[in-house]
Structures are given as structure tokens and as C-alpha cells.
Homo-oligomer: A and B are copies of this chain.
Amino acid sequence: MLAEIITIGDEILIGQIVDTNSAWMAKQLNLIGVSVKQITSVSDEEQHILDALAQAETRADIILITGGLGPTKDDITKLTLAKYFNMGFRNDAGTLEIVKSIFEKYKRPLLDINIKQADVPDGCEVILNKNGTAPCMWFEERGKIFVSMPGVPYEMMYLMDDEILPRIKRQFKLPSIVHKTILTSNIGESFLAKEIEEIEDSLPAHIKLAYLPKMGQVRLRLSAIGEDEAPLKTEVEIYAKQIIEKVEKFVVIDDDIPLEQAILNFMKEKGLTLSTAESCTGGYIAHLITQHPGCSSVYWGGAVAYAYELKESVLGVKENTLTKYGAVSEETVTEMAEGALKNFKTDYSIAVSGIAGPDGGTEDKPVGTVWIAVANQQKTIAKVFNFSNKRLQNIERSAASALTMLLNLLKES
């Protein structure tokens, strides 16, 4: 069962927004056994949308379309779908009611263009969108399914979760797709490949191995497709186990979860608490951690200590340390980590101080020099890294390295 995703809207093609919808949709489809064949972003232009629909129809069984459903003139998805299927329009009563209730809730008068938001191609089935004024439309034509959804992420997500995915599951007998991911660090992609060459060569045709390098780490992903989930899972686990045994010392997590989630799971189980003391990562580590529901039982908080004054007053770094060794030094980052432990009263802490760039580098400490420390009551480990000259990359790599150091410290304790 193959799906395609078409996103409609110039904002993606001019790079004004990043298409996060498609990745989310692809992940959900995969989980229920639907493979995504292609993701296509096209402009708000009739002929281009028509062509994309026609091409997708030749490749996929179900075509999921997002975007272009707003009330304004630049949005033409509904008109184009009606043209594609040679349909007229009807005003959908259920949608109109939702539109009216939303406008009542915000005490805004209903405009003509809002009433027109309830117009839909007359051959589609409307799936009510409880979170917005744009209807979701389900077409079954020429043996294929086309679904048009709003591009607003949370409206689309709700519709997929509550309506579209359950319908697809009911309507089709789907295969199982099983993924297993292993995160490694401190080993390059080609060395990893050489280490596990024999295992890779022994994989059956329905199991694929992929290498995903990112921020100095490599994720290995085994993907299997088959009829029944349970034996498939067992099979994948066997190969995963072989790989893990072979490259054990480089394995950080044997699950497809982010580093910080692995840390939260581990610490929650042991009843441990964590704080952060960030300079150059500027709150990014705290943000990664606090994205996850339930983090508050582990994570107590921390400081973003950009200025020297805050490093001293909030984290207790000595003025002398800052003037003698500088903010980006083993001494300062150690005091930051130990200050966080003490002032925030947690079992573990992370501290980062570096030169994210693009300015602020010196000959001794060029842009990309980052000191990271992790600490518990027994010990503090500090390391220096030399990343790149790109600010965001330095922030992300610092965070990934700090979290890896913490996970390793947790494991050895």
C-alpha cells in the first residue's frame, strides 16, 4: 500500500517555512503499514497542482494533500480538485455550522468568504474539522483515495490521528512495517559499515539497513516489511542484537528515541534529578528536555548564563576563575556544573560554555571551541570540543555531545 504526500503552497517553495507536516504524516503512515513513495511540494498554481495529482495517481494508492484551503484568494486547492475530478460544488451544512460556531466563539461577524469556506466539490465526502474552518475532503475516484486537509499543523494532525488513519486501517489490509534504530557515537559511517559488513550482507531482502549520520553521530536503521508484525519484530531484533554486540562500545541508545528522552527515562526510573547551566547553547538543552511530557519529575530547571554576572550570581562561578581562565575554559565549565548541582539541589547537572560564533573567536579559542561538563556528587567530567564555524550547528552539536556525556556518566554510575 503506497501513499504520496502533496503539499500545496508557495511558502514552502520560497523557503519561508520548513515542511514539518510531511515528516510527521510519513511517520504516522509508516506506523500503520503504509509506505510513502514520494513527497511533493508544489506551488499555488492550477496546472502544476493538476499535474502533480495526475502523476501521484500513477504511483500511489492514496494521495494525501495539505494546504491551500484558506479563505483567501491565493488558496485554490478546492477549485483545482473540483476541476481535476470534473465536479461541481455544494455548500456543506456540517462545515458551515463549525465555521459559524468558531466565529461566534471569537465574537466575529461571519463574512461571505467564510460562508464559502463550507463549499466543497460535490463528489467528496466531508470529514468535519473541529479545530478550524477549512473542511477535510475525502475523494474515492478511479480506485484511488485522495484526501485534502488544511496545512495548519495541528488541524492536520488532529484529522490524521482521529479520522484519516483509522479510516485507512479499516479500509485496507495493511502489511506490517517494523523499524529498529541504534544510535552510535565516536565512530565514522564507513568504519561502522566495515565493522558490520557481514551482518549487513546476511540481511534478507525484506530487511534494509540505512546509515544516518548527524551531528557527529550515526544512527543505524533496520527496516522490515512483511505480513505479521510479531515475527517481523523478532527477526529485526535478532539482526539488531548482532549489530549491537559487534559495535557495543559505540552504541549510545538502542531505540529510536532522542537522547534526552533516553536520559529522562533512565533518571525517572532511578528517581534522579537534573539541572542545566548553559552559556553558548542558550537554553537549547533545557528546551530539548522540556519538550517531553512528564520531564518535570526529573528536570528541575537551570540557568541560561550568558553574561559573566549571571555565571557568578546564579551559578556561583568565581570572578577570579572568569578573569583568569575566561568563560570558555575547563575551570569555568566545571564551576558551572558544580554550581548548578549545589544551587539547584539536583543529583546531576550539565554545563556548557563555548564560542558559538560567528564572532568572538580568538587564535587560542577559535569559533566552535566548546567546553562541556557533566557532574554528580561524586565527580565532574569536563571535555573540550572543536566544532565548526556555524552558530546553529555548534549549538546543536554541543547539545548532542553534552547529552551523550551525561548518558555515559549515568550508565557508569
Q: Enumerate chain A interface residues (CB-CB to B < 8 A).
A: 10-20, 22-30, 35-44, 48, 52, 55, 70-74, 106, 108, 111, 113-114, 152-154, 157, 179, 181, 188-191, 193-194, 200, 208-214, 219, 221, 223, 256, 276, 278, 280-287, 289-291, 293-296, 299-307, 309-310, 313-314, 343-345, 356-359, 388, 390-393, 395
Which one, B43, B283, B289, B388, contacts A154 given CB within 8 A?
A: B388
Whether the pair A211, B293 counts as a contact (CB closer than 8 A) is: no
Q: In whole Å, how far is A66's beta carbon from the nearest beta carbon of chain B?
A: 14
Chain A interface, DSSP helix/strand/loop, else mixed? mixed
Whether the pair A27, B39 counts as a contact (CB closer than 8 A) is: no
Once the chains are docked, how many angstroms separate the CA of A208 from the CA of B72? 12
Which one, B35, B200, B287, contacts A73 given CB within 8 A?
A: B200
Whether the pair A299, B306 counts as a contact (CB closer than 8 A) is: yes
A219 neighbours in B (Cβ, 8 Å): 16
A395 neighbours in B (Cβ, 8 Å): 290-291
Count the copies: 2
Q: In whole Å, how far is A74's beta carbon from the nearest beta carbon of chain B?
A: 5
Query: Which single residue of chain B is at the shortest CB-CB distance from A279?
Result: B301
Once the chains are docked, how many angstroms separate the CA of A157 from the CA of B71? 36
Whether the pair A392, B291 counts as a contact (CB closer than 8 A) is: yes
Query: Which single residue of chain B is at the shortest CB-CB distance from A300?
Result: B307
A280 neighbours in B (Cβ, 8 Å): 290
With A11-B221, A74-B209, A190-B113 as contacts: A296 and B304 at CB distance below 8 Å: no
Besides the known contacts A12-B26, A72-B193, A153-B393, 14 further A-B residue pairs in the complex with CB atoms under 8 A apart:
A15-B36, A16-B219, A17-B212, A44-B210, A74-B208, A276-B304, A282-B291, A284-B287, A287-B287, A291-B395, A300-B310, A301-B310, A309-B344, A310-B344
